[in-house]
A and B are shown apart, each in its own frame.
Chain A
Amino acid sequence: MVRLKDLTTEEMFTSGHRLCAGCGAGIVARMTLKALRRPTVITNATGCMEVASTIYPFTSWKIPWVHVAFENAAAVASGIEAAYKAMTKRNAWDKQVDIIAFAGDGGTFDIGIQAVSGALERGHDFLYICYDNEAYMNTGIQRSGATPHGAATTTSPAGEVIPGKPEFKKDFIGICAAHGIEFAATASPAYWNDYITKVQRGLEVEGPAVIHVFSPCPLGMRHDSEKSIELAKLAVQTRYWPVYEVNKGKYKLNMKVPKPKPVIDFLKPQGRFRHLFRPKFQHELEVIQRWVDENWKRITELCGEA
Chain B
Amino acid sequence: MSKIMGLTGDGAIAYAVKQSSVDVVAAYPITPQTLIVEEFSEFVHNGEVHTEFVCVESEHSAMSACVGASLTGARVFTATASQGLALMHEIMYIASSLRCPIVMGVVNRALSAPINIHCDHSDMMGSRDCGWIQIYGENAQEAYDWVVQAFKIAEDPSVLLPVTMNIDGFILSHSLEGVEVLDDEDVKRFVTTRKPVLRVDPDKPITVGALCLTDYYFETKRQQFEALEETTKVIDRVNKEYKILTGRRYGFVDSYGLEDAEAAILCLGSTAGTAKTVAGELRSQGKKVGVIKPWVYRPFPREEIMKALGGLKALAVLDRSCSFGAPYGALCSDVVGMLYQNGKELNVFNVIYGLGGRDMTPFDIEAIFNEALEVAETGLVKEPLKFIGVRE
Q: Would A114 and B213 count as touching, CB distance under 8 A? A: no
C-alpha gap A227/B208 in the complex (Å): 33
Question: Among B60, B72, B200, which residue has its beta carbon within 8 angstroms of that of A115?
Answer: B60
The B40-92 residues at the A interface (CB cut-off 8 A) are 50-52, 54-58, 60-62, 64-74, 76, 90-91
From B67, B211, B212, contact of A79 by CB (8 A): B67
B200 to chain A: closest residue by CB? A64
**In whole Å, how far is B16's beta carbon from the nearest beta carbon of chain A?**
18
- Using Cβ atoms and an 8 Å threshold, which residues of chain B touch A41? 200, 202
**Which residues of the partner chain A approach B56 to less than 8 Å between Cβ atoms?**
75, 78, 118, 122
- Check B19 for interface membership: any CB of A closer than 8 A: no
Determine whether the beta carbon of B57 is less than 8 Å from that of A114: yes
For B24, give its contact among A43, A71, A79, A121 (CB under 8 Å): A79
Question: Which residues 189-232 in A have Cβ within 8 Å of B in the complex?
Answer: none
Closest B residue by C-beta to A12:
B205
* Binary contact readout A42-60 vs B (1 if CB under 8 angstroms, 0 otherwise): 0110000011001111010
* Chain B residues with CB under 8 A of A62: 205
Instruction: Tell whether, in the assembled complex, residue A72 and residue B61 are in contact, meaning their CB atoms are under 8 Å apart.
Output: yes
**Which residue of B has the minimal Cβ distance to A67?**
B209
A57 CB contacts on chain B under 8 angstroms? 210, 216
B21 closest partner in A (C-beta): A90
Does residue B206 face the partner (Cβ distance < 8 Å to A)?
yes
As a 0/1 sequence over residues 64 to 104 of chain A, the CB contacts with chain B under 8 angstroms (1 = contact) are 11111101101111111011111101101101010000000
CB distance from B91 to the nearest CB of A (A): 6
The verdict on B201 contacting chain A, using a C-beta distance below 8 Å, is: yes
**Chain B residues with Cβ under 8 A from A79's Cβ?**
24, 26, 54, 64-70, 72, 76
**Contact flag A66-B209 (CB < 8 Å), given A115-B64, A118-B57:** yes
Considering the complex, give the chain A residue whose CB is closest to the CB of B51.
A86
Shortest distance in angstroms between A243's beta carbon and chain B's nearest beta carbon? 30
Contact A76 B202 (CB under 8 A): no
Whether the Cβ atoms of B67 and A78 lie closer than 8 Å is no
Shortest distance in angstroms between B372's beta carbon and chain A's nearest beta carbon? Answer: 45
**Using a Cβ–Cβ cut-off of 8 Å, how many residues does chain A contribute to the interface with B?**
49
Q: Does A39 contact B (CB under 8 A)?
A: yes
A55 touches B211 (CB 8 A): yes
Does A291 touch B at the CB level, under 8 Å? no
B213, chain A: closest CB distance, angstroms:
7
B142: shortest Cβ distance to chain A, in Å?
28
Interface residues of B in 197-242 (CB under 8 A from A): 200-203, 205-213, 216
A281 within 8 A of B: no
Does B94 belong to the interface (CB within 8 Å)?
yes
Q: How far is the CB of A115 from chain B (nearest CB, A)?
A: 5
Interface pairs (6), CB distance under 8 Å:
A40-B202, A44-B209, A68-B91, A83-B69, A86-B50, A86-B74
Extra pairs beyond A82-B26, A90-B21 (4, CB < 8 Å):
A64-B206, A75-B62, A75-B68, A86-B23
Give 5 nearest A-B pairs by CB, closest first: A79-B68, A39-B202, A118-B57, A79-B65, A67-B209
Chain B residues with a Cβ under 8 A of chain A: 21, 23-24, 26, 50-52, 54-58, 60-62, 64-74, 76, 90-91, 94, 98, 193, 200-203, 205-213, 216
A contacts, CB < 8 Å to B: 39-41, 43-44, 50-51, 54-57, 59, 61-69, 71-72, 74-80, 82-87, 89-90, 92-93, 95, 97, 114-115, 117-119, 121-122
